[in-house]
Structures are given as structure tokens and as C-alpha cells.
Chain A
Amino acid sequence: MHGHETTTGPTRTSPPDPFGDVLTGGYAGSRTGTGPATTGITVPSFGWTGVAIALHRLQQEPSASIVTVRVPGHLPLVVDVEANAYWWDTPLELFPADPADVEVVTVAKDPAQEASRQPGADLDALLWLIGNHSFLGELAWWLQRHDRYRLVRWPNLTTLPHTPDQMRMTAMLGYAFLPVDELANAAETDPAEARRLVNAFSLMRLLRSESPAPADVAATPEPVVDPAPHLRPQRGGLFRRLRDRLGL
């Protein structure tokens, strides 16, 4: 049994969603389960992962629905994917990174309620945080390990808390289609950081992807550890010196 997805070629269907019944109603709580059989990795649906899954579902299958998220100690978070907006009394600077019990409910919009609702905040900043804090550092279920990803457009980084490594990886994705393992190697970062970044960009709908031909998918479960020399970042480059000078 290989550790990677067994999807075939460029044409694939969505992976099975064992949490469908939970995400459309009821309490996700601490219930865990096995993720798609293709990964062999158990990714609990609690925390922000369940929220990411619910939001992604609505992005893929738009409907007049809103997602309500209840995090202990916070007032409800309401997300309208269609309107690209959210409503939440908790400022994003106080975003709870690892909430234990999260209830995610997707319900049809109530036209009367929607008509009276004030304009919401831009959803991108929230999706950035959710994407970076879901799936426990693994790739989101709807993404494929061997697919290559590239930016459609940059995120508005001045409005998002980010690290220099995230900035560099973003720049890389602006120029080339890269699988996440190669992205991590090129940026010399923890592979989980690259996966979190790609998850966030996927949720923010900033990525396009291309799938390798089946023959190109490596048979080994090990990631590429020695990328082509031209993908190695320049040691001591201006970015690094400027980052050090600015104390970033």
C-alpha cells in the first residue's frame, strides 16, 4: 500500500467525503475518522479542517448557503462564500489557531436575514488563516501531492500575517508550476509549511493546477529531496540580507 493518492491521470473525481453527513448539520465535535482512503492519513475533521472542507464544498458546488462556525469562547462566525464575506466579532488578530471543539453548520440562506445583514468583511484574510491552520500540516484532501500548482494572482500580503518564507514561496509559485514537495525543497522550508501555504491559496482560489502524466508519478513514497540546481535559492541573496537588516 503506497502512502500517496491512487488517483489516476489528469482526470479524476472528487474523493469520497465521509464527513458529508456531519458537515451539513449536527455537531462535528471531536469525532474523528479516516480521511479519503487514497491518502492513508488520518486527518481529524475537528478544528479548522472541518471548516475548510465545508467552505471548499461550497466553492465547488455553489449554493445559496451560509456556513456558521461555533468556536468555544467566541461568538458565531458566519461565512458567505458566494458573497466572499464573513461576519465575526472576533478580530483576526485574536484568531484561535487550534480550537478543540468546532461546530460547523451549513444552512440555506434566509432571504429576510440576508437583507438585513450589514456588509461583511473580505473573506480572503479569514481563508488565509483557516488554510494555514487546517489539515494538521498535511495537504488538503482536494489537492493532489503530485499535482503542480501555480498562482493565478498574488494574495494581498500587506493585509495578511505572513513570514518571509511564505513570501518567497509565493514568489516561486508566481513563476512556475511546482508540486508542494519541490516548493518546500526550493524554499528550504519544512514541507508542512509549503502544504499549509498551498492549502490557504487553494481556499482563497488563487491557484491553478496541472496534473502529471501517470508515467511521471513516482513509484516511491519518498518526496524529491534534491531538486534541480536552478531551483536552489541563492544563498546570501539580497532578500536574505534585507530581511536580516529589517529584522524580519
Chain B
Amino acid sequence: MSVAPHLDPVVVELGRVALRDMRDVSTSLVYSSFLTDDGFEVVHEPDGRVDPNRFASMASSIQALSEAVAREVHIGTSEYVIIAAAQGHVIQLRVPGHPIVLGALFDDDETLGKALSVSRRCATALATALAARPADAPAGGDAHDHAATGGWPAPTASVTA
């Protein structure tokens, strides 16, 4: 994409849809954000919990450091990053094929496996949406359009441990 992701309203909107869909399937999701490789926030959900700009900058640094470590020790491409803390965890992974990173904060009600799974699907959903986007697609649009194109399944009742 020739326009930086955080400045492209179509990317922002597709990202918002993906984040909301992830929130619908994971009640322990506290905060999530798509960010550019160089630390600009594309979109976040919800407001008020986390400083979105700071989160984006720090997440980009973590992403870059993790990838540098993986290169340094010759274990291939970094797939995801987990920061596990006493009261929750942060998961980061790349949106396949794009200079965009997903950062997601879960509380400690969520298992790591489930958190990683929904995060992966969210990142893939955005990648799919971006791939399906026409070159001159207008900004905005129905938030459910994404579900209709085969991203997330219909929301189900959340299950808490």
C-alpha cells in the first residue's frame, strides 16, 4: 500500500472491524490495536484503557527486538511475542504480508492458548480483508460486511473458565 497504513482510512476501518470481531469472541480481551512497524497506531479498541500512542510505540519496539533476537539466534522468523504478567498478558504478531502488527492485551481470565488463537485469527482476518480490498475502495462501510466475506464466525456465547 502506497499510503501509510495509519493514514489510510480504509485500512483503519477494516482494522476496526477486525478488532471488534475479536472482542466479540473474547470477553477477556482488554485492549487491542493494530500498529505500523515504526510505531504509529492504526486503530485501537476500546478507548480509555490504554494510551494508544504509547502502546503502539512500545509494541513496535518489542516486535523489532523480538525479530532481531530470532535472527540473531537463527531460529527463523519470529511468529509471535507473549508478555506474560501477573494480571494478564500481551500478545503481538504480524498481520501476514503487511507492515502492520497486532497487539492485544488480555486479562488473566483467558488462557494463553485461546488468546493466541483469537489473535491469530484477527491478524489473518485483516490480512484477508486487505487482500480483498479493491484498489479504489472507499473508506467506511457496514461493519458486518467483513463477517459476510468469511472472516470471523458468527459470535457465540462466551465461555469463561
Indicate yes or no for A touching B, C-beta below 8 A.
no
Q: Hey, which bits of chain A sit against chain B, CB under 8 A?
A: none
Q: Hey, which bits of chain B sit against chain A, CB under 8 A?
A: none
